[in-house]
Structure 1
Amino acid sequence: MDRKDILKMVDHTLLTQTASWEEIKQICEDAIAYGVASVCIPPSYVKRVKEYVKDRMPVCTVIGFPNGYQTSQVKLYETKEAIENGADELDMVINLGWVKDAEYKLIADEIKEIKAACGSRVLKVIIETCLLTEEEKIKMCQVVTEAGADFIKTSTGFSKAGATFDDIALFKKHVGDNVKIKAAGGIASFDDAEQFIKLGASRLGTSRLIKLAKNQEATGY
């Protein structure tokens, strides 16, 4: 698979706590140069980034990040503010305690409410696979499908592990036709990225692939 085609599926991401404007601006420039799907940045930078990139690149941000245990009303406020500031795509974290308590209706209602606020904008739902059992992952595939989100996403990248090939295969088997798949966290090579895509992912959350591409251009290999 051509590297340019892989990069078209990347949400080029910088969500570290210490991310500075100069670093954010640089990933925006790289995202535009390499033609990725979006740039994914902290909510506090959304307005400034949108003003900077204008229509050159979709802007993605995160909601309830990274732990997901904010109240639904807080997440809804975050969503509305992000949209007002210019966000085109939103990646929300579910309440994992509700998963453990089998409060599936609460999770579904929260997703539905946030999707309603998003309207035509893309909503990705992060279920943090490394903290769930296989049974819980399957149930979340069903909940995310029924709630009408656009994507199910593996990971925040801030927990104990990221995406795995097994999780993407599991998602592909259990999500509805209306739900796409995003692999995120720990994607360290183009070979891994291609395998995630073959298994069913249509988005990849990573900061490493552009770094690899830039290094290849600089070194010739």
Structure 2
Amino acid sequence: MNVAKMIDHSLLRPELTTDDVRRGCEVAGRRAVASVCVRPSDVELAVAALAGTGVLVGTVAGFPHGDARTATKVAEARALVEAGADEIDMVLHIGRLRDGDGGYVHDDIAAVAAAAQGRTVKVILENAYLTDEQKVLGCHLAERAGAHFVKTSTGFAPGGATLADIRLMRAAVAPHVEVKAAGGVRTLGTLLELHAAGATRFGATATETILDDYAARERGEQPPTPAAAVDGGY
């Protein structure tokens, strides 16, 4: 199992400096994770920092609330693609999903997916604000709109990824649509439990701790008790 290639190393906290982002990209490149997920203004920096590493550059649109106009999300997605982003994690319109306005939610996602020009699009539902029925509807709409992933959370809401939500989301979408867990994935144990439930990608800030613990486990060692991680948007 290549745990590193399941991790999107998150660099989304608003207070991060450019030096912080560079250091985070260095971690992502050195640990050969799947991607780094940076703020929109940091995409060019990340593209340059990760050139030749094989680590993808991800970023966000409509983040973290999802309530921007569709035209704004589309313009953002187009600009991010032009800047070199490989993946875009967009937040659907949470309020319209709670309204049951499936047409709006579908069209909002579909417009961003088209603007992404074939790049991977992950749709964030922000499950902390949704009922199970709304979560399932959001997954169905994201799949029909062309999303490649459905994702639990931004990391900025009151709750993050749960085992029950991963199971629910995995069952709600076809096999070709993947599930990303984000928000509270701070330990190897949590990652492996959520992976067993169906998640294939994980937003994380505690990347080095998780990977060090996995390496220790592979060597047959007892992993150390993990230090408390600072929640950084995932």
Class of the TM-score when normalised by the shorter of the 2 chains? over 0.9
For the residues of structure 1 that align with 2:153 and 2:139, how far apart are their CA atoms?
14
The 4+ residue runs of structure 1 with deviation greater than 2 A are 211-217
> Are 1:111 and 2:96 counterparts?
no
- Which stretch of the first structure deviates more once superposed, 203-212 or 64-73? 203-212
Give % identity: 36
The residue aligned with 1:181 is 179
Q: What SS does the corresponding residue of 2:63 show, helix, strand or coil?
A: coil
Q: CA deviation at 1:100?
A: 1.6
Q: What SS does the corresponding residue of 1:91 show, helix, strand or coil?
A: strand
Task: Provide structure 1 residue ranges, at least 5 long, that are not aligned to the other structure.
Answer: none
The residue aligned with 1:153 is 151
Q: CA deviation at 1:120?
A: 2.0
Q: CA deviation at 1:209?
A: 2.9
For the residues of structure 2 that align with 1:31 and 1:191, how far apart are their CA atoms?
20
Q: Which string of whole-angstrom CA distances, capped at 9 and with x for unpartnered residues, describes residues 105-164 of structure 1?
A: 111111111111112210000000111001101111111111110000000000101000
- Taking structure 1 as reference, are residues 213 and 130 closer, same or farther at Cα in structure 2, changes over 3 Å only? same
Q: CA deviation at 1:215?
A: 8.4
Q: CA deviation at 1:8?
A: 1.4
> Are 1:58 and 2:42 counterparts?
no
Calculate the aligned-residue CA RMSD, in Å: 1.9
Q: What SS does the corresponding residue of 1:77 show, helix, strand or coil?
A: helix
The residue aligned with 2:33 is 36
The residue aligned with 1:88 is 86
Task: Provide structure 2 residue ranges, at least 5 long, that are not aligned to the other structure.
Answer: 216-222, 225-234
Q: Which string of whole-angstrom CA distances, capped at 9 and with x for unpartnered residues, describes residues 43-79 of structure 1?
A: 0010122122224221000000000000000001110
Q: CA deviation at 1:210?
A: 1.6
Q: Is the 8 A contact 1:145 1:179 kept in 2?
A: yes
Q: CA deviation at 1:214?
A: 5.5
Q: What SS does the corresponding residue of 1:167 show, helix, strand or coil?
A: helix
1:100 to 87, 98, 101: 98
1:123-202 matches, within 5 Å, as 123-202=121-200
For the residues of structure 2 that align with 1:183 and 1:136, how far apart are their CA atoms?
17
Q: Is the 8 A contact 2:3 2:211 kept in 1?
A: no
Matched residue count: 218
For the residues of structure 1 that align with 2:146 and 2:110, how far apart are their CA atoms?
7
